Chain A
Amino acid sequence: EIVLTQSPATLSVSPGERATLSCRASQSVSSNLAWYQQKPGQAPRLLIYGASTRATGIPARFSGSGSGTEFTLTISSLQSEDFAVYYCQQSNNWPPEWTFGQGTKVEIK
Chain B
Amino acid sequence: QVQLQESGPGLVKPSETLSLTCSVSGYSISSGYYWGWIRQPPGKALEWIGYIYHSGSTYYSPSLKSRVTISIDTSKNQFSLKLSSVTAADTAVYYCARAEGEVDYWGQGMLVTVSS
* Residues of chain B contacted by A32 (CB below 8 angstroms): 101
A97 at the interface (CB under 8 A from B): yes
B45 at the interface (CB under 8 A from A): yes
Q: Which residue of A lies closest to B51 (CB)?
A: A98
* Residues of chain B contacted by A91 (CB below 8 angstroms): 99, 101-102
* Residues of chain B contacted by A96 (CB below 8 angstroms): 59
- Besides A98-B51, A101-B45, 15 other CB < 8 A contacts? A1-B62, A34-B102, A43-B107, A43-B109, A49-B101, A49-B102, A49-B104, A55-B104, A89-B102, A91-B99, A96-B59, A97-B59, A98-B48, A98-B99, A100-B47
* Residues of chain A contacted by B62 (CB below 8 angstroms): 1, 97
The interface on chain A, measured as residues whose beta carbon lies within 8 A of the other chain's beta carbons, has a size of 22
Assembly CA distance A55 to B59 (angstroms): 25
Assembly CA distance A43 to B104 (angstroms): 11
* Residues of chain A contacted by B38 (CB below 8 angstroms): 100
B4 → chain A closest CB, angstroms? 9
Interface residues of B (CB under 8 A from A): 36, 38, 45-48, 51, 59, 61-62, 95, 99, 101-104, 106-109
Interface residues of A (CB under 8 A from B): 1, 32, 34, 36, 38, 43-44, 46, 49-50, 55, 87, 89, 91, 96-103
Q: Which residue of A lies closest to B46 (CB)?
A: A100
The A/B interface has a contact count, at CB < 8 Å, of: 55
Assembly CA distance A6 to B109 (angstroms): 24
Q: A43 and B102 in contact (CB under 8 A), knowing A97-B59, A100-B45?
A: no
Assembly CA distance A98 to B60 (angstroms): 9
* Residues of chain A contacted by B108 (CB below 8 angstroms): 43
